[in-house]
Amino acid sequence: MTPNQTLNGRYRVISSLGEGGMSDVYLSRDLILKRDVAVKLIRFDLQNDDKTIQRFQREALATTEIVHPNIVSVYDVGEDNGIHYLVMEYIDGTDLKQYIKDHFPIPYQKVIDIMEQILSGVAAAHAHGIIHRDLKPQNVLMDKNGSAKISDFGVAVAQQDQTITQTNAVVGSVHYLSPEQARGHLATKRSDIYSLGIILYEMLTGRVPFEGENAVSIAIKHSQNQIPLVRDFDPRIPQALENVILKATAKNPFDRYASATEMANDLKTSLSPSRADEPRFVTQSSNDQTIIAKASHFGPTAIKDVAEVKAISQPNNEKKSTSTVTKKRRNRHPLRKKIAIFLGLLTLFIVGIAVAFYLSFPKVVSIPDVSGMTQNEATAVLKKKNLKVGQITRTGNQKVDYKRVIETLPKSKKQVQAGVAVNIVISQGPNSYVVENYIGNSYTQVAKKLRAKGFKIKKTKVQTMQFDHGKIIYQSVVPDQVVVPRATTIRFSVTE
């Protein structure tokens, strides 16, 4: 994008604010609301990458419903000539990473004040069922008044949308990654708590706790090594404040704070004189590891047991007297019975596993194409496919009529499990629209066209012999004026 270039006739680019691996951000001017905004664009070389577009749309969905002073607001999402963009609140300042470099050492009370703001924003996201999964200082913006705002929900996920298929995917920045994420397990709210503990560590020491030659070595340290003590770096740090870090970064998620609010409440009193003699925090869970047996472990054991039982019951080839043979046969019957019982139980066990696997195997359905339908029509079609309706997001669109479905997330024709929630994006009509000259045209046709764009239409009947019946002789909005359809009412005078 170049300066003065305009998206959808509304957002005029002023200058570049930064470039990332997935997107570029520009300071822009909202020509309708007369305010500065930050516009995030998918990089040109990734415009056709489905995964990047899904992450982009996920960021919009994750933050649209959350209104909080410590979370960057998303105002609009759209597409212009194949360019996907997000319109966000513009923060005139820097990110927390740079803030730490510029202001270190930061006074303890200031550290606590900033962390309480971040925790408040995270608590709001968690209350909406959103797990950020990539909390780090680079994703916390600091304005010139010292207020913190969380950004970049591109890898965030609704807690109810997580499935077992995600367990092998490591998501997040490695320096702030929780042990369970490093192992490829599902991220939870307590995973965000771990990342917050690392952020607090960096604010107090000016560095991250673990470094390494590569991402894998750092992830292993997060998984296995104890977090270095901040009091070894600065003995003046109160033990109670260090304890907040130790509890937040416990290896076992259940030893951490249960919520961001709980962590904030503990942090708030960490400088209190009443906690001056507080002992160092020690986790309550044991170090014993639980070994989970795999189904394959049962095979060799069962075979060995059967082999041993068969060996015991094999007949002796030596000649025996009739009485001895009779006695042995009598003794073999209980063994045969035990073998039969054992094999029967083993068969039932295998059949039971097979049945359980079959019953638990999810049914796969294809997401139907509901674009162009109303919300009610789309909901009915999705329910027939045994799919749930997820979040409803409304955005401006130059091509899709007002209150009609633009697309679904995941997209149509994608194979998903039955029962999955499908998010729907509804058109609010064009973000901006150039009003034409409708005088002399048929009111019925014009009104139908404009209502489909989102306009409100008012009609006043006028008696005159100069025009044919049903023709427009006056319009309240002058031609060539640029307006927002869903916020505009056009009044027509129509001949009887």
- The shares of helix, strand and coil residues in the chain, as percent rounded to the nearest 5, are 40, 20, 40
Contacts of 428 (CB under 8 A, 6+ apart): 394, 395, 396, 397, 402, 403, 454, 485, 486
Question: Token digits for 368?
Answer: 């139907």
Can you say whether the dihedral through the CA atoms of 168, 172, 175, 179 is positive or negative? negative
Residue 24: which H helix or E strand, with range?
strand 23-30
Quick one: CA dihedral 444, 379, 365, 184, positive or negative? positive
Taking a C-beta distance cutoff of 8 angstroms, is the pair 243, 270 a contact? yes
Catalytic residue flag (residue 134)? yes
- In sequence order, the 6+-apart residues with CB closer than 8 A to the CB of 407 are 371, 425
144 is in an annotated binding site: no
Select from 398, 403, 454, 412 the least CA-distant residue to 82: 398
Max Cα distance, the chain (Å):
131
For residues 124 and 148, the answer to whether their CB atoms sit within 8 Å is no
Beta bridge partner(s), residue 147: none
**Residue among 151, 166, 15 at smallest CA distance from 88:** 151
Return the SS3 of 430. Answer: coil
**Which residue in 76, 95, 134, 192 is the catalytic one?**
134
The length of the chain, given as a count of residues:
496
Which ranges of 297-360 would DSSP assign to H, the alpha helix? 298-313, 322-360
Q: Quote the tokens at residue 231.
A: 């009091």
Tokens coding 194: 């771990």
Q: Are strands 433-434 and 482-483 parallel, antiparallel or unpaired?
A: antiparallel
Distance separating alpha carbons of residues 222 and 50, to the nearest angstrom: 31
* 3-state DSSP assignment of residue 231: helix
Catalytic residues: 134
Residues annotated in a binding site for ATP:
40
Residues annotated in a binding site:
40
